[in-house]
Amino acid sequence: MRKAAGFTLLEIIIVLAIGAVIYTLILGVPLRGGTSADLKAAARSLASGLREAQTTAMATRRDASLLIDLDARQFTIAGDKRARKLPDGIELKLDTAESEVAGEHRGGIRFYPDGSSTGGRITVSAGERKYLVDVDWLTGRVSIE
């Protein structure tokens, strides 16, 4: 009697399970940290906060700034005591005027009553993905790249 050629159901299930584990590991590596949605939400939240600080400065005719704590991943706007938390798993980097640096991991971007600002850039990243939230010093224009 000849045995039929082919694979048993158990062998096929084992191969599929191993493939699923490898597939999960490969796709899971870039997803550690913030997701694309978290990055975009953080960049939009920061841009919104910066625009709010600019509007506050123009409406009150006084300087207003957005202060950011890079370690805690949160920011506050002058005149508003509540801290706005950004998603975990993302990295932040602040490039701003030296006069606005409040510590090694804290700083801000200041807006003046005429709408201009000290200018700066906040980089929101996770792995290879990143968004740049830029503030033009002359016009105070906030943009996301």
Burial of 135 from C-beta contacts in 10 A (0-12 / 13-18 / 19+): buried
Domain for residue 95, yes or no? yes
Domain for residue 30, yes or no? no
Domain for residue 137, yes or no? yes
One pLDDT digit (tens) per residue for the chain, 145 residues: 566 677 888 889 999 999 988 888 777 655 455 578 888 888 999 999 999 999 999 999 999 999 999 888 889 888 787 888 988 888 889 888 888 888 888 888 999 999 899 999 999 988 888 999 999 899 889 999 8
Domain for residue 120, yes or no? yes
Q: Model's pTM, two decimal places?
A: 0.73
Domain for residue 20, yes or no? no
CATH number assigned to the domain comprising residue 48: 3.55.40.10
Residues 6+ apart with CB under 8 A from 56: 64, 77, 78, 79, 111
Domain for residue 62, yes or no? yes
- Residue 87 belongs to what domain range? 36-144
Residues 17 and 76: their CA atoms lie apart, in Å, by: 48
Q: How many domains does the chain have?
A: 1
Position 25: which residue type? L
Domain for residue 2, yes or no? no
Domain for residue 6, yes or no? no
